[in-house]
Amino acid sequence: MGAHRTGRVASLAAIALIMTSCAAGGQDARVGAAGPVTGEGRSTTAATALAPLLVTAREPAVPFKGSDGTFVVSYELTLFNATPLTLRPTTVEVLTPSGTVIDSLDEGEIAAALALPSRRTGVQELTEAQTATLYLSPEFAGRSDVPARLDNRVTVTAPGLPPEGVTTVAAPVSVSDATVPVLGPPLEPGTGYIAADSCCDSIRHRRAQLPIDNRLWLAQRFAVDWEQLDDRGRTVTGDDPSVPGDYTIFGKRVVAAAGGTVIHVVDGLAEQAPGALPASITLPEADGNSVIIDIGSGLYALYAHMQPGSIAVSVGQRVARGDLIGLVGNTGNSSAPHLHFHVMDGPSPLTSEGVPYVIDSFETTGQITSTAAFDQFENTTQPLPMQATPSDGTHRDELPLDLVIVTFP
């Protein structure tokens, strides 16, 4: 045991010494090799980069237009602390291939965007061998402004490292030129629909990675939980927030956002009591009464949490845009009646990757002021606080962003 303790202290000291002597100016630390290093998968150059933090990217990223008028590129970086040190990320920069910095995060912004499996925000440090996910969504004024590649630089500090830190240049993120699917509304015409937990940084959806079948999946990356306000700005129209039928959106018609073939149906699950998530629920029951439709081009649409007995389609049935799917309920892993909707690149709501999409026509009439305000008043008979936004009005081929209030024509 004494040898292990001595070796650990020696490795700590060695890392600190190497970083201190070789990482001047916050640049990548470089250590000269004794000579050319040969063999499969190895460099033949004499210098290799020594970095305390390993950064990899999930790619490619697909640009889409949000309801604020900007083009968004959402992607994730995996940060791995490869040392026994406690590393603190201090700066993250997103760059064009020419080296122009287009987005920069300071320590507070990094902590808000960095997540662990047990803590989806507020992560400030990475301990020995710890891995975290950094969620990024740089915005661009127009589609032509989005480069074909995005580079990323992450600077970390630790006791024993240079005060300016050591910078890791991540693997570049490829920007896809794939066409974003254009869909119709997933709900019947109406006013006051809230795009709750929508893009681009929802704790509940964007950061809901699932470790299944020996890899991480993020099917809910662009999911929306659709709720609805009445004419007094309340999600609960009746008197009792514990009764599903007293919610404004309860019983509204869920309709096909695109034509396709029904491949999966769950029905018969009972309504949950609103106000809190169910104490125990299995993965197959999480989406409640739900439908998955193959909409073509390798994409699938999920409609979840509908009323028992309301599903109007069956497996193998062809549906057209606007056809009735079911009625909004509060089944599965749900704390308030709503329609959960997202598009994914596979038929499973768990082992798929969420992909962006846009809705061809809608209007916005404001936005809930914050997620905290939404959570506070969602299950009450009180009006939700709202504010106007510069982008209020008619929208074409855009994705409703988080907490905007939408009218479907």
E runs forming strands in 233-317:
253-255, 260-266, 289-296, 299-306
**Average pLDDT score over the chain:** 89
**Residue 283 has what pLDDT?**
87
Give me the sign of the Cα torsion angle 310, 315, 317, 323.
positive
Residue 228, number of CB atoms within 10 A of its CB:
24
Determine what percent of the chain is predicted with pLDDT higher than 70: 88
Residue 364 pLDDT more than 60?
yes
For the entire predicted model, the pTM comes to 0.88
Q: Predicted confidence band at 29 (pLDDT cuts at 50, 70, 90)?
A: very low
Alpha helices in 54-149 (DSSP H): 107-113
Cβ–Cβ < 8 Å for 133, 94: no
Q: What is the mean pLDDT of residues 350-360?
A: 97
Residue type, 210: L
**Residue 48 has what pLDDT?**
53
| Higher per-residue confidence, 270 vs 48 | 270
Give me the sign of the Cα torsion angle 380, 383, 386, 392.
positive
196-250, pLDDT tens digit by residue?
999 998 889 999 999 999 999 999 999 999 999 999 999 999 999 999 999 999 9
139-166, pLDDT tens digit by residue?
999 999 999 999 999 999 998 788 888 9
- Domains belonging to the chain, first-starting first, are 50-174 (2.60.40), 182-408 (2.70.70.10)
Q: Take residue 195 and report the two structure tokens written for it.
A: 């795009």
Cβ–Cβ < 8 Å for 183, 358: yes
CA atoms within 13 A on the CB side of 198: 26
